[in-house]
Structure 1
Amino acid sequence: MAATYLQEQDVIGDIAASLGIEPGEVTDEGNLTDLGMDSIRTMSLIEKWRSAGVEGADFIALASEPTLTHWLNVLTGRETDEEKDKEKEEAHEL
């Protein structure tokens, strides 16, 4: 079965809605934690995205780098194999 990914505008919209801000306030390199993203909001989004069939919606993968660019790479399928290998290595170190 092919992997399911989200569209960029959907990720941005979901993040903004979770934070109670406008999508334009979510910048590419801005730290989502600084905007108010916490573990509860992250888990809520992950559950929403997993329900939609997105396999890349993983807490460790997203929390390791809470920037829009990173989240888009993971959730829209733009993540490189090198980044996936790095995340697996870091997860095993925990």
Structure 2
Amino acid sequence: MALTVQQIRQDVADVLGEDPTDIPDDEDLGDHGLDSVRLMSLVEWWRREHAAEISFVDLAERPAIEVWAALMGAHA
């Protein structure tokens, strides 16, 4: 199942304990409390549930939903 931008935002919100509407697509997710442990859990989840071919390093280098969506080929 392909990821969508909305699904990425929802998954990020879930690991951060925030409302998805509070997480902008273009902001650094580290500023919202995303740390390496939470990021690794997202990477594993997306690999397992969505067959996403992503690496921790790729996502950690530019932690923003819009960048991740492009890397993962997510649909709007």
TM-score range, shorter chain: 0.7 to 0.9
**Unpaired runs of 5+ in structure 2?**
none
Give percent identity, aligned residues only.
37
Cα offsets for 1:49-83 (capped at 9, x unmatched)? 1102111x2111100101111111112x16xxxxx
2:30 counterpart of 1:33: yes
TM (norm. structure 2) is 0.87
TM (norm. structure 1) is 0.72
1:59 to 46, 56, 59: 56
Partner residue, 1:87? none
Greater length-normalized contact order (CA 8 Å, ≥ 6 residues apart): 2
How large is the RMSD of aligned CA atoms in angstroms?
1.3
Larger radius of gyration: 1
SS of residue matched to 1:34: helix
Q: Distance in 1 between matches of 2:56 and 2:30?
A: 14
Cα offsets for 1:3-60 (capped at 9, x unmatched)? x6311111110000010000011102111000000000000000001102111x2111
1:21 to 18, 23, 27: 18
**Unpaired runs of 5+ in structure 1?**
79-94
Select the structure that is richer in helix: 2
Q: How many residues align?
A: 73
